Structure 1
């Protein structure tokens, strides 16, 4: 019985095709609609419903409207602090980025398995977080070259750099700049994946301890379950923090493109 209850902590990250497996392809590459794509759609629809319900513009706002306005004001203040008055035009993008990641992270933690639905945290895949990071990085490059032209390369030469050190410093700064999308996507991916793996491992302790008998259930199963509850609470906090960090770093990178700091 215990052997049949083994838990594979990596199975939850498996991308499985939903439909279109045999016929949907571009240039020989299969583009089947997967569970990852499904939960992206669910996150987008949930976010749209949340925003739609909170944009009534009532004179005396209700709780829903206040929640939407609070999130909007939060991102607006963050952009104002990090980018300045120029940050207002990036509000739609950074706000959408923050809310989409937040909803994706939270939905992946919902206990929907109790009703037979297994949520998929697509932000635990580097292909997804990497694309979001590349999108932000592309905006930085477009803004930087559009506004400053080739003077944008001065971003890689700190003020007061000795002439002799100029080539080396430029190379170091350039490599550091090019690594940004990788580190931006990796941070979110690792944080979400690690939390879900830990929860899955603890769940195997609960199942294994329960199947092993009353003694192991008390000594192993119960403490593991209590720890799972605590980790779940921590993961909710991490879900919000990681969405904020992603949006914050995006705003800082946009500031570099705007002001060449």
Structure 2
């Protein structure tokens, strides 16, 4: 998130959105499907971080846990309880998938806070894939587990009969909008926070307002640490809610 600010014709020029440009990680040139980009590199680091924390960090299974093992156990218990509370005992079998989603997103978010790093979850190309994977998984699972009874999710039996067809259309539209809202919420919040930090960093080049800009950067950075976790949590808890609908469409 380093910034380049300079004066041109008496004005301050900086580009807060440049940090989101996907470009080759090694050298220059066009980006092809096989090109190692800054996005793929930092996603790879996120996977390594998840592996290091959950596999290597807890491999010894010490009675007196190390810090890494404590964090791994805390994350495991936190997500397991979330899945069990929302989806019930039947949803626990899908815990590995939900745990993987949470850890990947939270690691991408936190790694993106490192200066000069790239945040993959600020791109809709990444969050849309994650959201579509959840949407397709719960939809297919809903039909596999319940058959045609899964369609009862869209039929509001408690409403007056005359309103049920209208509500059914609204429910269907709402259902297919899920991956859109699911992905935009994550990418939009991450992108906005990083852009604001870079704007403050640009103003830090001006001597007159640099103390205020530095305070703004510090405050925004602290907020982004919180947002990084909250957005991963929100994405995960919505996944659990959608999974519950697939497992129990009548509820």
The two structures have a TM-score, normalised by structure 1, of 0.87
Which consecutive residues of structure 1, in runs of 5 or more, have no partner in the other structure? Answer: 112-117, 211-215
- 1:44 aligns with one of 20, 43, 47: 47
Q: Does structure 2 conserve the Cα–Cα contact (< 8 Å) formed by 1:82 and 1:252?
A: yes
Question: For residues 73 and 228 of structure 2, what CA distance do their matches in structure 1 show?
Answer: 20
The two structures have a TM-score, normalised by structure 2, of 0.90
Q: Does structure 2 conserve the Cα–Cα contact (< 8 Å) formed by 1:192 and 1:239?
A: yes
Residue by residue, what CA displacement relative to the aligned partner does 1:44-74 show, whole Å, maximum 9, x if unpaired? 1111111122232223322221211110000
- 2:231 aligns with one of 231, 242, 246: 242
Question: For residues 67 and 5 of structure 1, what CA distance do their matches in structure 2 show?
Answer: 43
Q: Does 1:226 align with 2:215?
A: yes
Task: Tell me how far 1:17 sits from its aligned partner.
Answer: 2.3
**1:80 corresponding residue in structure 2:** 84
Q: Does structure 2 conserve the Cα–Cα contact (< 8 Å) formed by 1:80 and 1:88?
A: yes
Aligned residues: 242
Residue by residue, what CA displacement relative to the aligned partner does 1:98-140 show, whole Å, maximum 9, x if unpaired? 11111100001013xxxxxx21001011111111011111111
**2:20 corresponding residue in structure 1:** 13
Which has the larger helix fraction?
A: 1
Which consecutive residues of structure 2, in runs of 5 or more, have no partner in the other structure? Answer: 1-5
Runs of 4 or more off by more than 4 Å in structure 1?
19-25
Q: Does structure 2 conserve the Cα–Cα contact (< 8 Å) formed by 1:20 and 1:33?
A: no
CA 1:45/1:254 → structure 2, altered by over 3 Å: closer, same or farther? same
Question: For residues 234 and 244 of structure 1, what CA distance do their matches in structure 2 show?
Answer: 15
Give the aligned CA root-mean-square deviation in angstroms: 2.0
